[in-house]
Amino acid sequence: MTTPWNHRYAQRMQGMGSSVIRELLKLTQNPEIISFAGGLPAPEVFPVDAFQSAACRVLDKHGSQALQYAATEGYTPLRQWIVDYMARYGIEAAVDNILITSGSQQALDLIGKVMINPGDLILTEKPTYLGALQAWRAYQAEYTSVPIDDDGICIDMLEEALCGGPKFMYILPNFQNPGGVTLSLKRRKQLIEIADHYGVPIIEDDPYGELRYEGEHIPPLVVLDAERLNGHFGGAQHRRSGYSNGHGYMRGNVIYTSTFSKTLAPGLRLAWIVAPSEVINRCVMAKQGMDLHTSSFVQMTAYEVLQDDFLIHHVRTIRKVYGERRDVMLAALERYFPVGAHWTRPQGGLFLWVTLPASIDTVALMDKAIANHVAYVPGSAFYPDGSGRNTFRLNFSNAQPDMIEIGIKRLGEVLAEELEYTYEPEMELAFA
Ligand SMILES: Cc1ncc(COP(=O)(O)O)c(C=O)c1O
């Protein structure tokens, strides 16, 4: 008998079909193509030597523990390290508020598993992180979305979207993926007030916060929310929030997640959630059914690497390398992109976002880009409703500076040809 597998799949798989964009991106594997498509960190900055010696030390000192099953919550010394590290940014939490996850992609999936019923509405930015949309589609979420501009989510359009009664808001305040924009302090405070007013929790996804190349650090939403609770909203940036009353934080409206993927290496699959302990307990239950726990060996090795302020020094190197690549890409865009193309100027992170006149379809244009040996991600992939077809995302962390220059020149040629045929100056530029 041949099983008709199609009849066996769950309904939730219906929203998870293969997309045109995924098929197109497979073509970018060709080594002749300069790809700005992936969100890959630069392999040159991976701390390979530090991991090699740390792995040996872990196996020498704690070999059998590192290779044994372990607690779902994560390796306690690593959780404590995260608590101490986050306190530098004013996030006050206790070990009980931390769950180690296998990448922040798993954190998003866990949040979906714990919180989303079929048909629940989730409020996202427009555009937003594709991986979150994918993760929550599996739980049959519906989306409502609010455009972003250079200062992040457009607060003036938020309340209308909140009237739909979303389960939570998903916000990327720092160097947003894909937009590259950063939510201003003023809007962060407004967002916290509005979330409180409507009683809607915020999921704050912050993989890039450490990767700032210019400008001042802005307090995370989780810190501002703690300040709101403590009645000193808008205070000093690095003051400890007092959220926890010494017992882990208890009442917050924000679930925060971050990752070691962009600061150490994505192949570790190591990240964390910070949340009230009752939420952490639910996520622990959900994670048990997924993978029991994140690799003990990886957690212990990463903890060993992180000793002696390793991350503080290492992140300085990464900022220098990526900051330089961002500058090379911005200069190349000025040089080679035609009139009619507009782009964001990220203060950090890995991406910038290009908007073309409304008549250009960047999915269709990918064929021409690939023929000219360069690739991007068409913007519509990041729109819950599939709009944004005149936009695309560029990554600047992965390619070497000389390749960035050549790749942007190639892309500029493709755009110049296209815009010559289709650009009408009076056409309105739509960011969203
Ligand atoms: C906004 C955002 N969230 C989550 C992730 C997933 O990261 P991780 O490697 O920790 O799973 C990414 C990866 O690019 C991302 O950009």
Break the chain into its structural domains and give their ranges: 7-46+312-422, 48-308
395 within ligand 1 shell (Cβ under 6 A) = no
Residue 229: per-residue pLDDT: 87
Least confident of 28-37, 126-135, 249-258, 334-343: 249-258
Q: Domain spanning 48-308 has what CATH number?
A: 3.40.640.10
Say how many Å lie between the CA of residue 179 and the centre of ligand 1: 14
Q: In the predicted model, what is the mean pLDDT of residues 228-244? A: 59
Q: Are the CB atoms for 115 and 421 separated by under 8 Å?
A: no
* Res 430 pLDDT > 50: no
DSSP 8-state assignment for residue 212: B
CB-based contacts of 251-254 (< 8 A; 24+ apart in sequence): 251/276, 252/222, 252/225, 252/226, 252/276, 253/192, 253/195, 253/196, 253/201, 253/202, 253/225, 254/192, 254/195, 254/201, 254/202, 254/203, 254/204, 254/221, 254/222, 254/225
Q: How far is the CA of 336 from the centre of ligand 1 (A)?
A: 30
Distance 207 CA to ligand 1 centre (A): 6
State mean pLDDT over 163-187. Answer: 97
The answer to whether the CB of 38 is under 6 A from ligand 1 is: no
For 98-127, write each residue's pLDDT tens digit: 999 999 999 999 999 999 999 999 999 999
- Ligand 1, pocket-test mutation among 99, 124, 129, 258, most atoms within 8 A of CB: 129
The pLDDT mean for the chain works out to 91
Question: Do 100 and 73 meet the contact criterion of CB atoms below 8 Å apart?
Answer: yes
pLDDT-based confidence at 6, cuts 50/70/90? confident
Binning pLDDT at 50, 70 and 90, where does residue 423 land? low
- Quote the pLDDT of residue 241: 44
**Euclidean distance between CA atoms 99 and 270, whole angstroms:** 11
The alpha carbon of 97 is separated from its chain's Cα centroid by a whole number of angstroms, namely 21
Fold of 7-46+312-422: Aspartate Aminotransferase, domain 1 (3.90.1150)
pLDDT at residue 3 above 90? no
Q: What is the pLDDT of residues 11-25, one digit of tens each?
A: 888 777 666 667 767
Cis peptide before 401 (omega within 30 of 0): no
Find the mean pLDDT for residues 297-312: 98
Q: Is 103 in the pocket of ligand 1 (CB under 6 A)?
A: yes
Q: Is the pTM of this model over 0.85?
A: yes
